[in-house]
Structure 1
Amino acid sequence: MVSVALMALGVAAWAGLRAFLPSDEELARRLEAAFEARTGHGLVVGELRWRLLGLPVVEVLHAHTQQKDAIRVRRVALHPQLLPLLRQRLVIDRLEVDGAEVPRDSLNALQDRTADANDRVELRRLVFTNLRYTSYSGIAVAYDGEVSFDEDRLPRRVQIRRPGVSPPATLDATREGRTERGADIYRLRVQAAGGTLHGQARLTTRDDGHLLLAGELAPRGVEVQALLDAFHRRSFISGRASGETTLRAEGETLGALFRSLRTRSELTVDGGKILRIDVAKAVKSLGEDRAGQTPLDSLSGVVETQNTEDGMKTTFTHVKAVAGDYSATGCATLYRKQLAAQGELDIAGGLVDVPFAAHGPTRKPTFRIAKGSIAGAAIGTVLLPGIGTAIGAQIGGAVSGPPAAEGDGVSGQRECP
Structure 2
Amino acid sequence: MTRARRWFAGSLAAAALLLAGLVLLIHSNLPSDEELAADLGARFESASGIALRVGAAHWALMPSPVVVLEDLSTAQPRPITVRRIVVRPHLSALWTRKIAIDAIEIDGAVLPRTSVRAFRGRWQADDAAIVVAGAWTLAAIPVERVRLRDVVWIDRRDIALAYDADILFDPHWRPREAQLSRSGVTPPANLRVEREGEQDRWRTLIDVGGGTWNGNAALQELDKGRLRLTAQLEPKDVDVGALVRSFGRHSAVEGKLQGQTAVDTEGENVTEMIRTLHTRTRFNIAPANLTGFDLAKMVSTGSGRGGQTRLDTLAGTLDTQATEEGVILRYSGMKARSGALIASGSATVINRRLDGEAAVDIVDGVVGVPLKLGGTLDAPQVSLTGAALTGAAVGTAVLPGVGTAIGARIGQELDKLLGNEEAKKKPR
Shorter-chain TM-score bucket reads 0.7 to 0.9
Q: 1:22 aligns with which of 15, 23, 31?
A: 31
Tell me, yes or no, if structure 1 residue 342 matches structure 2 residue 372. no
Q: 1:205 aligns with which of 200, 221, 238?
A: 221
Q: 2:145 aligns with which of 122, 125, 146?
A: 125
CA separation of 1:276 and 1:225: change in aligned 2, threshold 3 A: same
1:125-144 matches, cutoff 5 A: 125-144=145-164
Superposition deviation, residue 267 in structure 1? 0.4
CA distance, structure 1, for counterparts of residue 340 and residue 390 of structure 2 = 19
Superposition deviation, residue 138 in structure 1? 1.9
Q: What percent of counterpart residues are identical? A: 35
CA separation of 1:69 and 1:363: change in aligned 2, threshold 3 A: farther
Residue deviations 1:58-102, cap 9 Å, x none? 111111112222111111111111232344432211111111111
1:249-328 matches, cutoff 5 A: 249-287=265-303, 290-328=305-343
TM-score normalised per structure 2: 0.79
**Any gaps of 5 or more consecutive residues in structure 2?**
1-25, 131-136, 411-428
Superposition deviation, residue 385 in structure 1? 8.6
Superposition deviation, residue 20 in structure 1? 2.3
Segment of structure 1 superposing worse, 196-205 or 317-326: 317-326
Letter of the 1:189 partner, please give it.
L
1:379-390 matches, cutoff 5 A: 380=402, 382-383=404-405
Q: 1:162 aligns with which of 151, 169, 182?
A: 182
Superposition deviation, residue 33 in structure 1? 1.7
Partner of 1:372: 390
Letter of the 1:269 partner, please give it.
I
Residue deviations 1:333-377, cap 9 Å, x none? 222343222222333266232322234555556654223356659
Contact residue 245 and residue 266 of structure 1 kept, 8 A = yes
Segment of structure 1 superposing worse, 200-209 or 130-139: 200-209
Matched residue SS, 1:303: strand
Letter of the 2:210 partner, please give it.
G
Letter of the 1:116 partner, please give it.
D
Superposition deviation, residue 185 in structure 1? 0.9
CA separation of 1:205 and 1:227: change in aligned 2, threshold 3 A: same
CA distance, structure 1, for counterparts of residue 192 and residue 216 of structure 2 = 11
CA distance, structure 2, for counterparts of residue 295 and residue 48 of structure 1 = 59
Superposition deviation, residue 114 in structure 1? 2.1
TM-score normalised per structure 1: 0.81
CA distance, structure 2, for counterparts of residue 374 and residue 267 of structure 1 = 35
Segment of structure 1 superposing worse, 326-335 or 227-236: 326-335
CA separation of 1:206 and 1:19: change in aligned 2, threshold 3 A: closer
Superposition deviation, residue 53 in structure 1? 1.1
CA separation of 1:153 and 1:347: change in aligned 2, threshold 3 A: same
CA distance, structure 1, for counterparts of residue 365 and residue 288 of structure 2 = 21
Of structures 1 and 2, the one with the larger relative CO (CA 8 A, separation 6+) is 2
Letter of the 2:123 partner, please give it.
R
CA separation of 1:367 and 1:256: change in aligned 2, threshold 3 A: same
Letter of the 2:405 partner, please give it.
L
Contact residue 136 and residue 336 of structure 1 kept, 8 A = no
Superposition deviation, residue 293 in structure 1? 1.4
CA separation of 1:249 and 1:384: change in aligned 2, threshold 3 A: closer
Q: 1:195 aligns with which of 211, 216, 221?
A: 211
Superposition deviation, residue 159 in structure 1? 0.3
**Any gaps of 5 or more consecutive residues in structure 1?**
1-16, 390-417
Letter of the 1:106 partner, please give it.
S
Letter of the 1:299 partner, please give it.
L
Q: 2:240 aligns with which of 214, 217, 224?
A: 224
Letter of the 1:172 partner, please give it.
R
Matched residue SS, 1:291: strand
Letter of the 2:39 partner, please give it.
R
Contact residue 141 and residue 232 of structure 1 kept, 8 A = yes
Q: 2:77 aligns with which of 59, 68, 71?
A: 68
Contact residue 135 and residue 311 of structure 1 kept, 8 A = no
CA separation of 1:359 and 1:382: change in aligned 2, threshold 3 A: closer
Tell me, yes or no, if structure 1 residue 246 matches structure 2 residue 256. no
